[in-house]
A and B are shown apart, each in its own frame.
Chain A
Amino acid sequence: MRYRSQSIAYWYFAVAMCLFGLQLVFGLLSATKYLGPDPLLNFLPFDKTKAIHTNLLIVWVLTGFMGATYYMVPEESRSEIYSVKLAYIQLVAWTLMGVTTVVGYMFGWTAGNKMLEQPFPLKIVIVIVMLMFLYNILMTIKRAGRWTVTEGVLVAGLAFAAILYLPALIEYENYTVSIFYRWWTIHLWVEGVWEMIQGGLLAYLLIRLSGADREVMEKWLYVIVGLVFMAGILGTAHHYYWVGVPHYWLPIGVFFSALEPVALLGMAMYAYFAMRRAGFSHPNSLAVHWTIGSTVFTVFGAGLLGFAHTWPSVNKWTHGTLITAMHGHGAFYGAYAMTVLAMISYILPHLTSDRKVEGNSIGYWAFWMQVMGMFGMTLSFGTAGIGQVYLERILGLGYLDTQLKLQVHFLMLIATASVFATGAALFIWNFFRTAPRSVAAIDSSTSAPDLAPAGHANSAASG
């Protein structure tokens, strides 16, 4: 770490870790409700635990993105953050917003629109916080007078993410129109601009971890993001099939959403070839695990499992079943949770004291338990979903009776989710195990060596 203001990232990550832990508590709670009966039925029924679970996910991942940005931008632009104070004010406002949202849901304060349940005043807070964030980052870049493509892609992704949240502020009288624009936020986030963010973070990690040539990496970054948008924008159609839109969205969905995995595969190849060409010599091999792991899991959870039900001929049977939950978990975890965890794993040795760059065995347990646990969870949802499609959608067994027949899959879900949660708990514990470096101790001479493999002078070396 060369810039004092990079230590802002630590506090963003710390908040992200707390919310991650809380997300899993509500996830496990929701899973037990699949088994039923539910002793909390009248205080905390499924609709509340589920909304809290998904909202915490979105909030902690965004917190992680912001923390990563505060770490990355000073290095890329070779400058301290424009206003450290604003960054902390922003974090406090953001965290308060998150906590208020969760408590509000418990007491029934909700806008009740899936994944955009935040009540209107809180949506306004979200917009304000995003503006503070973007202002701070853009002023940093402006003051520094230099920017790199890697950072440009990241910041543009974040700015687009903020813009795409705006349709969620509008009330629509027509439910179909409301669904139409809900996907502008949700789909264009996860299969558009968040992938752009992911690409920016991935390029940064690969350049740091492998010492790959920046020019080459940034060239391919453009191509990947181009592929993402080529397929992803019109791929929104795969959410439109059955909600009351003109028929032409069906063939559009067939073609473009089927192309989406290409961009994700591209990202995995990007990571693989960068590491292979430049070598796995970086000492932080835990961060290498998370980085490569995230691209592989993205191909599996988002690419493969998304593709599995993206065509109308399949989707008309699977739409609205646990098949969607299978894919949602694999995709969000692989692409976004793992990317943030990769950034944290890479950055943490720089931000905390008494920590070995190469990671410890707890770190590897955390990695493998999460990956295996999440793999098992997608299998559980997947097998439950196949059973549901067959019994309920094809044979015509009632919804409630079908769910009763899926109990064994729900047991499997809880078992694998427990493995996952243990892995996550280890990660969180490992995060908080050592204290953050005090700012006074942060000085280029004493900071942890930013070990790029020999022969690759760090392009962002200070000065």
Chain B
Amino acid sequence: MTKRQGRLFFIICTLISATVFIGLTFDSHRRFPGLTNEDKLTPEIIRGKDVWHNNNCINCHTLLGEGGYYAPDLTKITQQRGTPYLTAFLKDPSQFYSEEKHRRLMPNPKLSDAEISEVIAFLDWVGHIDNQGWPPRPIIVSGTTIPGTDVGQPPTHASVSTDPVAQGEALFRSSPPACNACHSIASGVNLAGPTLAGLATRAAAIIASPEYKGEAKTPVDYIRESITHPSAYLVPGATYSANNQSFMPDNFAADLEPQQIDSLVAYLETLK
């Protein structure tokens, strides 16, 4: 081989790769609007992206897996935590986590109310980008999904059974957002929401107590009510609710089929 042939090799390799790369870039631009729901990209969301950038969030967190690796991935966070929770958290993270426990704490970003709702809207938009289903399993912030988890198995695989309890258990791990992102079923393991271990037994005590103002008469009713109207009864704890509003998302009544709620209740009722 001569030097001229070497140069030719270099030029041809570079030209071919660059041409293909630029061609694919054009094609990707054609597809971005669909993949990223660009029609839903409101000015509020774009301002939320600026909040994300201005506060350098990416140098601790990761989003779509890119960032600082020092704090949790936030790609699907709005599917795990409702807006009231995220709002309260962003107002003062130290209410929710402590350096004593986790040796790490998020500094207070000192955002205005508007900025908080903008950045949440932005994160919600990111969470709906079609990104080949990443992450393959939910990445959770704290606590554990290990007790009662099918290790390495995508949550939906368990739902083939026709048994309502089995279906309920599958839903518990998949209904958007997955219940187990915030609730464990191990006793004493409180995540963003209280543990559901012993729920059926506890429910009876709650409806009998004077603090209870809801409509449920039986434990089963209470469980159903907790899913469809999370604020009907507030489990004590500053990290669970504020201003008489529970941090649990309230989309389940609308987003789940009545029969799905039935199976969830059937499953949760077994947690005695």
When distances are taken between beta carbons in the complex, the residues of chain A under 8 Å from B198 are none
Cα–Cα distance between A105 and B56 once the two chains are bound (Å): 9
Asked if A225 contacts B141 (CB within 8 A), the reply is no
**Is B118 part of the contact surface with A, judged by Cβ < 8 Å?**
no
When distances are taken between beta carbons in the complex, the residues of chain A under 8 Å from B38 are 174
When distances are taken between beta carbons in the complex, the residues of chain A under 8 Å from B58 are 47, 112-114
**Is B157 part of the contact surface with A, judged by Cβ < 8 Å?**
no
Query: Given A117-B56, A229-B17 in contact, is the A50-B70 Cβ separation under 8 Å?
Result: yes
**Is A393 part of the contact surface with B, judged by Cβ < 8 Å?**
yes
Q: Which of B20, B35, B69, B125 has the most CB of A within 10 A?
A: B69
Interface 1/0 per residue, B31-72 and A, CB below 8 Å: 110011010010000100100111111111011111111111
Q: Which of B184-224 contact A (CB under 8 A)?
A: 191
Asked if B141 contacts A398 (CB within 8 A), the reply is yes
When distances are taken between beta carbons in the complex, the residues of chain A under 8 Å from B142 are 398-401
Query: Given A222-B7, A229-B10, A245-B35 in contact, is the A51-B59 Cβ separation under 8 Å?
Result: yes
Contact of A175 among B60, B126, B134 (CB under 8 A): B126
**Is B13 part of the contact surface with A, judged by Cβ < 8 Å?**
yes
Shortest Cβ distance from B48 into chain A, in angstroms?
Answer: 10
Interface 1/0 per residue, B16-37 and A, CB below 8 Å: 1110110011011101100110
Query: Given A114-B67, A174-B41, A234-B21 in contact, is the A222-B9 Cβ separation under 8 Å?
Result: yes
Interface 1/0 per residue, A209-230 and B, CB below 8 Å: 0000001001111110111011
Asked if B72 contacts A400 (CB within 8 A), the reply is yes
**Is A244 part of the contact surface with B, judged by Cβ < 8 Å?**
yes
Query: Closest chain A residue to B30 by CB distance?
Result: A246
**Is A236 part of the contact surface with B, judged by Cβ < 8 Å?**
yes
Interface 1/0 per residue, B123-151 and A, CB below 8 Å: 00110011110111111111111100101
Shortest Cβ distance from B65 into chain A, in angstroms?
Answer: 3
Query: Given A248-B24, A320-B65, A398-B141 in contact, is the A112-B132 Cβ separation under 8 Å?
Result: no
Asked if A175 contacts B139 (CB within 8 A), the reply is no
Interface 1/0 per residue, A109-128 and B, CB below 8 Å: 01111100100000000000
Shortest Cβ distance from A129 into chain B, in angstroms?
Answer: 24
Cα–Cα distance between A396 and B46 once the two chains are bound (Å): 32
Asked if A398 contacts B144 (CB within 8 A), the reply is yes
Contact of A399 among B6, B49, B131, B141 (CB under 8 A): B141
Query: Closest chain A residue to B20 by CB distance?
Result: A234
**Is B14 part of the contact surface with A, judged by Cβ < 8 Å?**
yes
**Is B259 part of the contact surface with A, judged by Cβ < 8 Å?**
no
Interface 1/0 per residue, A226-262 and B, CB below 8 Å: 1101101110100001111111111010001000000
Query: Closest chain A residue to B134 by CB distance?
Result: A242
Would you give 19 A-B contacts (Cβ < 8 Å), ordered by A? A37-B104, A38-B99, A48-B56, A48-B59, A175-B36, A175-B64, A177-B29, A219-B2, A222-B10, A226-B11, A230-B16, A243-B64, A320-B65, A396-B137, A398-B143, A399-B72, A399-B140, A400-B104, A401-B102
Asked if B20 contacts A110 (CB within 8 A), the reply is no
Cα–Cα distance between A252 and B28 once the two chains are bound (Å): 13
When distances are taken between beta carbons in the complex, the residues of chain A under 8 Å from B13 are 226-227, 229-230
Interface 1/0 per residue, B66-101 and A, CB below 8 Å: 111111110000000000000000000000010110
Asked if A225 contacts B10 (CB within 8 A), the reply is yes
* Chain B residues within CB distance 8 Å of chain A: 1-3, 6-7, 9-14, 16-18, 20-21, 24-25, 27-29, 31-32, 35-36, 38, 41, 46, 49, 52-60, 62-73, 97, 99-100, 102-105, 107-108, 122, 125-126, 129-132, 134-146, 149, 151-152, 191
Cα–Cα distance between A233 and B126 once the two chains are bound (Å): 27
**Is A3 part of the contact surface with B, judged by Cβ < 8 Å?**
no
Query: Given A174-B41, A234-B20 in contact, is the A242-B131 Cβ separation under 8 Å?
Result: yes
Contact of A246 among B28, B49, B105 (CB under 8 A): B28
Shortest Cβ distance from B157 into chain A, in angstroms?
Answer: 15
Query: Given A47-B68, A176-B36, A400-B104 in contact, is the A316-B54 Cβ separation under 8 Å?
Result: no
**Is A364 part of the contact surface with B, judged by Cβ < 8 Å?**
no
Asked if B10 contacts A110 (CB within 8 A), the reply is no
When distances are taken between beta carbons in the complex, the residues of chain A under 8 Å from B72 are 399-400
Cα–Cα distance between A50 and B191 once the two chains are bound (Å): 29
Q: Which of A374-416 contact B (CB under 8 A)?
A: 392-401, 403-404, 407
Asked if B56 contacts A112 (CB within 8 A), the reply is yes
Contact of A176 among B35, B46, B97, B141 (CB under 8 A): B35
When distances are taken between beta carbons in the complex, the residues of chain A under 8 Å from B68 are 46-47, 50, 114
When distances are taken between beta carbons in the complex, the residues of chain B under 8 Å from A22 are none
Contact of A173 among B41, B139, B151 (CB under 8 A): B41
Cα–Cα distance between A232 and B20 once the two chains are bound (Å): 12
Q: Which of A33-71 contact B (CB under 8 A)?
A: 33-38, 41-42, 45-48, 50-51
Query: Closest chain A residue to B97 by CB distance?
Result: A400
Interface window among A274-282, A284-292, A321-329, A443-451: A321-329
Contact of B69 among A180, A225, A250, A325 (CB under 8 A): A325
Interface 1/0 per residue, A90-122 and B, CB below 8 Å: 000000000000000100101111100100000
When distances are taken between beta carbons in the complex, the residues of chain A under 8 Å from B60 are 45-47, 50
Shortest Cβ distance from A250 into chain B, in angstroms?
Answer: 7
Interface 1/0 per residue, A127-146 and B, CB below 8 Å: 00000000000000000000
Contact of A394 among B56, B57, B107, B152 (CB under 8 A): B152
Cα–Cα distance between A48 and B56 once the two chains are bound (Å): 8
Interface 1/0 per residue, A13-44 and B, CB below 8 Å: 00000000000000000000111111001100
Contact of B70 among A46, A113, A173 (CB under 8 A): A46
Query: Given A112-B56, A173-B49, A246-B27 in contact, is the A37-B143 Cβ separation under 8 Å?
Result: no
Asked if A396 contacts B140 (CB within 8 A), the reply is yes
Shortest Cβ distance from A168 into chain B, in angstroms?
Answer: 13
Per CB-CB distance, the 5 closest pairs between chain A and chain B, nearest first, are A36-B103, A320-B65, A112-B53, A222-B6, A47-B59
**Is A147 part of the contact surface with B, judged by Cβ < 8 Å?**
no
Asked if B36 contacts A114 (CB within 8 A), the reply is no
**Is A426 part of the contact surface with B, judged by Cβ < 8 Å?**
no
Asked if B102 contacts A45 (CB within 8 A), the reply is no
**Is A317 part of the contact surface with B, judged by Cβ < 8 Å?**
yes
Asked if B53 contacts A111 (CB within 8 A), the reply is yes
